[in-house]
């Protein structure tokens, strides 16, 4: 359906999903046969009772064997549309050797959005000349992760709110992770910081302007959080596993905040220890200076060992008091 220009014209930009293609190309087996405008060049006969025929007519996709049946019907019609005439075939003739089929067979797209095709005869993967980009390429620096918003808010709703503020072309892609989180890709990198700054500003304000702002729909409830793509990568690579992405994000970010606070506490303890040591050293100097000035009979550099030991003892006492106080 993707490799033939004739078939693409036939599909008229219709969905290439199996059930949709089957209803379009094989109207005789579909309930909406009266609405079909494409005649089926290949007549397919099915031997079945009335119950089975009614099942076929209703389009019972995913029923046992029915997907295979739809695939065979669509394949037969597509072969006819590219010029393969089954009535001219002999029983011994191999369809694989047909000249009109050779450029289509054994070619497998790894995924619907890969843009490549795998040639099963050679094992080589190449660019698909007929591929049309369905989604824009991901630009990580332009992506914002948003989670924890009110339930029931769709990706389309979020895009509409953001576009009201940043412009109709400001958002290129909205990818829903689940019902609690989305990835928003902006068209410009600077919009990421602008969004984060605006979100912080609106959350600090408690005014009518904040309540009427287009982003208030996203921020409603006060639990909405946002971060850049690096944070999203950290959340995904964490060993924490929660059912909803928002719960996992909160757990990972809370753990990170705790670690950060722990580092700050450690730094504060180290700072306090250094302060005590500095104060001890200052006491030693003062004690030595006091000894020097009070002893008029002694030279300025004539400090005994006992003076030094006394000063050290005073410093040790002070250090002990500071440690017990903390």
- Taking the C-alpha atoms of residue 276 and residue 282, their distance in angstroms, rounded to an integer, is 10
Domain boundaries, the chain: 3-103, 140-255
- Taking the C-alpha atoms of residue 154 and residue 135, their distance in angstroms, rounded to an integer, is 18
Q: Is the pLDDT of residue 1 over 80?
A: no
Higher pLDDT, 91 or 317: 91
Q: Is the pLDDT of residue 161 over 80?
A: yes
pLDDT tens readout for residues 59-91: 566 677 888 888 898 888 888 888 888 777 777
Q: Is the pLDDT of residue 192 over 90?
A: yes
**CATH number listed for the domain at residues 140-255:** 3.30.70.330
Q: Is the pLDDT of residue 282 over 70?
A: no
* 42-46, 241-245, 262-266: least confident range: 262-266
> Which band of pLDDT confidence, cut at 50, 70 and 90, is reported for residue 56?
low
| Residue % of the chain over a pLDDT of 90 | 20
Higher pLDDT, 155 or 275: 155
Question: Which residue bears the tokens 């208030």?
Answer: 216
Q: Which of 309, 288, 292 is nearest to 300 (CA)?
A: 292
pLDDT of residue 48: 66
> Which band of pLDDT confidence, cut at 50, 70 and 90, is reported for residue 42?
confident
pLDDT of residue 253: 87
Task: Say whether 236 sits in a helix, a strand or coil.
Answer: helix
Q: Is the pLDDT of residue 306 over 70?
A: no
Q: How far is CA 111 from CA 51, 90, 128, 266, in A?
A: 36, 35, 12, 50
Q: Which of 225, 217, 114, 222 is nearest to 156 (CA)?
A: 217
Task: Say whether 288 sits in a helix, a strand or coil.
Answer: helix
- Backbone φ, ψ for residue 9 (5° rounding): -65, -35
* 42-56, 145-159, 168-182, 246-260: least confident range: 42-56
pLDDT of residue 225: 92
Q: How large is the average pLDDT for residues 201-214?
A: 76
pLDDT of residue 257: 61
Q: How large is the average pLDDT for residues 128-149?
A: 82
Q: How large is the average pLDDT for residues 264-292?
A: 45
CA angle (297 as vertex; 291, 302 as ends), nearest 5:
55
């Amino acid at each position: 359906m993707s490799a033939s220009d004739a078939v693409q014209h036939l599909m008229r930009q219709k969905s290439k999903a199996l059930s949709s293609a089957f209803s379009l190309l094989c109207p005789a087996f579909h309930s909406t046969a009266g609405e079909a405008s494409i005649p089926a060049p290949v007549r397919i006969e099915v031997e079945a009772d009335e119950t089975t025929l009614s099942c076929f007519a209703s389009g019972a996709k995913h029923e046992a064997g029915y997907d295979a049946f739809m695939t065979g019907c669509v394949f037969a019609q597509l072969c006819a549309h590219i010029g393969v005439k089954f009535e001219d075939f002999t029983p011994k003739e191999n369809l694989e050797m047909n000249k009109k089929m050779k450029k289509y067979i054994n070619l497998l797209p790894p995924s619907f959005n890969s843009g490549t095709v795998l040639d099963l005869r050679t094992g080589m993967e190449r660019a698909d000349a007929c591929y049309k980009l369905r989604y824009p390429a991901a630009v990580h620096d332009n992506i914002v992760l948003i989670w924890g918003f009110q339930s029931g808010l769709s990706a389309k709703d979020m895009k509409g709110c953001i576009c009201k503020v940043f412009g109709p072309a400001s958002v290129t892609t909205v990818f829903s992770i689940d019902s609690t989180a989305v990835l928003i890709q902006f068209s410009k990198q600077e919009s990421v910081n602008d969004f984060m700054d605006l979100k912080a500003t609106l959350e600090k304000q408690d005014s009518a302007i904040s309540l009427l702002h287009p982003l208030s729909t996203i921020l409603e409830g006060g639990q909405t959080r946002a971060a850049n793509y690096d944070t999203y990568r950290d959340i995904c690579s964490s060993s924490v596993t929660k059912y909803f992405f928002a719960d996992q994000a909160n757990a990972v970010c809370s753990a990170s905040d705790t670690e950060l606070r722990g580092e700050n506490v450690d730094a504060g303890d180290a700072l306090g220890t250094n302060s005590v040591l500095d104060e001890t050293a200052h006491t030693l100097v003062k004690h030595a200076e006091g000894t020097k000035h009070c002893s008029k009979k002694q030279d300025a550099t004539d400090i005994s060992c006992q003076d030094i030991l006394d000063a050290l003892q005073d410093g040790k006492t002070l250090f002990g008091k500071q440690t017990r106080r903390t």
